[in-house]
A = this chain, B = another copy of it.
Amino acid sequence: MKRILTVLFFVLSTFPLSAQDATWIYYPGDFEIWLGNETQNRRTERDGFFPPFWKMDSHYVAVEFSTKLVLPVAEEVEIYAEGKYNIKLDGKILPACNKITIPAGKHSLNIKVHNQAHVPAIYVKGQSFGSDESWKVTFEDKEWIDESGKASDTSSGTAYLQAGRWNFNSPDTPPSEFKLAVTPMTAAGTEKKGAGELIDFGKETFGYVKFHQLKGKGRLNIYYGESPEEALSTTHCETLDRIDIDNPSANDFTLEDSKAYRYIYVETDGDLSYSSVSMLYEYLPLDYRGQFRCNDELINRIWDISAYTMHLTSREFFIDGIKRDRWIWSGDAYQSYLMNYYLFFDSHSVTRTMLNLRGKDPVTSHVNTIMDYTFYWFIGVYDYLQYTGDREFVKQFYPRMQSLMDFCLSRRNSNGMMEGLAGDWVFIDWADFKMSKSGEVSFEQLLFCRSLETMALCADIMGDTEHEARYASLASDLKSKLFTSFWSANKNAFIHNRENGVMSEQVTPFTNMFAVLFDYLDAEKTKAVKDNVLLNTNALKITTPYMRFYELEALCKLGEYNHVLKEIRDYWGGMLNLGATSFWEKYNPDETGTEHLAMYGRPFGKSLCHAWGASPIYLLGKYYLGVKPEKEGYKEFSISPVLGDLKWMEGSVPTPKGDIKVYMDKKQIKVSATEGEGYLYFTSSGKPKINIGDIEQIAANRYRVMIDTGEEYIINGRF
């Protein structure tokens, strides 16, 4: 038995490691927290600093990294660390150094780092192994030494996690020096206006303004605008910079902080001159793995501007708007996760964002202080598992999921429902109609129920049968109550809320459309919601792309493909008609002129580039190309392409390690999948034919084809 274990140990600890795999590693989640503090504390309002109003956590300032080694021959090992560190080989502290020789044989190597300002991190590179996610980390190794000098056994009392990492693969690129990429961009136009100059970069952008041949002494006043009106409003633009310059000879000058704008208005005080203004566009390098093209150029433009909006807001994290907050908001980010699965499939951006939002224990408030945003966090984990199959994430962070759920459970009322307590923000939506956020809001209970279902799933992954049963039972109880309490037989829809035991009369779209998305309704209630809420022109109207996301998704689920395409053309097309080069935080077609720019009681308060504006990417990929995972990580998928009123469409949907390509016109469907297996579903009014594989009829005019090779399946029929 011992021999077998030793052999196994050798296999586990040496084979998967090689010197070229070395990367900077840290306590998982800590880089995400540190980076979030750095970035979220960059917000300014006018020229004042505007920090977030929820708890900012901190990385663990002292972290121990460890690995077990079996070296066939002695090897030289280079060690880099961010912070003050020590190296312990086989339990003995070595003198401070950054190169050690480890003799052949079995060894334990421990490195402990202290760093208050930055995340403790190491990069270790031997000949046969390197630092990677196989290393164990802890913030309390609990290794004490008794009076005889014997070290305590830490094996059972210490909680170890696998190391966190990203892509810091060189000793010269430590995590603390992380920066987004930049590339130079020129201005599209320049115009004298009043005492200054209005520079137009041609489209919404983000980056560092650069002055060329800046000379003289004086003050440079830079007013940023997503619209020309905003840039020219020196008194009301949302962001600005005032910089004192003293350049006796002409020099190029790039601003220290990057900002979002399409326009800048520059005024100089004193004796300043410059030859021109350009910028360094700042972005997260990402592949556009998802694609969509069709016969309708308006839809194509909407997809392109959605993708650009999504890319602008996919930065250090998935943020909300690039001009104003630049904060990580769980409800906004939740939509970015979904869009990301149909565009970049960049899982690290999802986990970076989720880990920052979750932060550390103790939980002292809802995520971003918002009750619904806590629930979106859970549901985001559910989707993440479904799309990526990354169970390791759950294994590392299940305790943090539990403590967040414990926080929720501790705040239920005597009905087992959650109401907004002191300090809780019940957000739901920026709606133009009045709605109560008090008492038992049915929408919140619905999201809470889905969160409990997510916890049951995660408990199952952890083999935590006791909690799995508990979460599942809580979810099922709450689901029953949702119907008994809020479904109105009279209105044939869910009621908005109940306050002090009194049911309101209001029907809002939120609970109703999410119940469709979560498959909580039977056929009869589904139809009722469709007719009475979703397609009822007298129902309350959603004016944010945020909730339009779910509204249109629900309509897609209900088969209203033509209607949804029309809505996309009207709503997103409406923004394009108004000159949008990225999609907005809020759009009410009934407003006119500069009304479109105002929000929060400020003339330019609205964000004109907001992540939640990019949902067509998701809708077109999931409901028109029709691709989605059926089992975790696309091990099994389904492809159900639907043209709606389009003549043809083609596109690609990324999977963890591959792509699913779909082409469809009225006579032909072509699909190929380089990973996983699954079914293509389609409706054909004539009997379809296929080049390879078999077509199986599953209902009248309804067929399916098993897709289980990487080849292209071509089906001819009448679609």
A→B interface (CB under 8 Å):
34, 37-38, 41, 45-62, 84-87, 93-96, 112, 114, 116-118, 139-150, 152, 154, 156-159, 361-362, 364-365, 369, 403, 421-425, 430, 599-602, 605
Contacts and interface: CB of A to CB of B under 8 A. Distances in A.
Given A55-B140, A93-B48, A95-B46, A37 B148 contact: no
Contact of A53 (B45, B59, B94, B140): B140
B48 A56 contact: no
21 contacts: A37-B61, A41-B62, A41-B84, A41-B114, A46-B93, A47-B95, A49-B84, A51-B112, A51-B114, A53-B144, A54-B142, A58-B59, A58-B61, A140-B369, A144-B369, A149-B600, A156-B423, A157-B424, A361-B361, A362-B362, A362-B403
Contacts of A46: 93, 95
A424 B142 CA distance: 8
Contacts of A364: 139-140, 159
A147 B599 contact: yes
B116 A116 contact: yes
Given A46-B95, A144-B425, A147-B599, 20 more contacts: A45-B93, A48-B94, A49-B84, A49-B86, A49-B93, A50-B86, A50-B93, A53-B140, A54-B140, A55-B140, A56-B61, A56-B114, A57-B61, A142-B425, A147-B600, A148-B601, A149-B602, A159-B364, A361-B361, A362-B403
Contact of A62 (B37, B96, B116, B422): B37
A41 B114 CA distance: 7
A220 to B, nearest CB: 16
A41 B117 CA distance: 14
A114 B50 CA distance: 10
A28 to B, nearest CB: 16
Nearest to A156: B422
A58 B139 contact: no
Nearest to A58: B58
A371 to B, nearest CB: 12
B600 A148 contact: yes
Contacts of A87: 48
A605 B114 contact: no
Contacts of A149: 600-602, 605
B116 A37 contact: yes
A387 B421 CA distance: 40
Contacts of A159: 364
A48 B96 contact: yes
A116 B114 contact: no
A600 B466 CA distance: 45
Contacts of A403: 362
A364 B60 CA distance: 13
A158 B423 contact: yes
Contacts of A41: 62, 84, 114
Nearest to A431: B147
A85 B365 contact: no
Nearest to A364: B140
A116 B425 contact: no
A418 to B, nearest CB: 15
Contact of A51 (B57, B62, B96): B62
Nearest to A360: B362
A600 B145 contact: yes
A461 to B, nearest CB: 23
A540 B327 CA distance: 64
A268 to B, nearest CB: 19
A403 B139 CA distance: 19
Contacts of A45: 93
Contact of A52 (B62, B93, B158): B62
Contacts of A58: 58-61, 116
A601 B91 CA distance: 14
Contacts of A93: 45-46, 48-50
Q: Considering residues A38, A158, A159, which has the most beta carbons from chain B within 10 angstroms of its beta carbon?
A: A158
A424 B152 CA distance: 10
Contacts of A114: 37, 41, 49, 51, 56
Contacts of A118: 116
B49 A56 contact: no
B37 A140 contact: no
Contacts of A47: 95-96
Given A117-B116, A423-B157, A60 B49 contact: no
A147 B607 CA distance: 12
Contacts of A600: 145-149
A37 B61 CA distance: 8
Nearest to A362: B361
B430 A147 contact: yes
A86 B424 CA distance: 24
B48 A95 contact: yes
A53 B49 CA distance: 38
Contacts of A147: 430, 599-600
Nearest to A62: B56
Contacts of A51: 62, 84, 86, 112, 114
Q: Considering residues A57, A140, A159, which has the most beta carbons from chain B within 10 angstroms of its beta carbon?
A: A140
A55 B48 contact: no
Nearest to A55: B140
Contacts of A95: 46-48
Contacts of A142: 53-54, 365, 369, 423, 425
Contacts of A116: 34, 37-38, 58, 116-118
Nearest to A141: B53
Nearest to A42: B84
8 interchain residue pairs of minimum CB distance: A157-B423, A149-B601, A117-B117, A58-B58, A48-B93, A156-B422, A157-B422, A49-B86
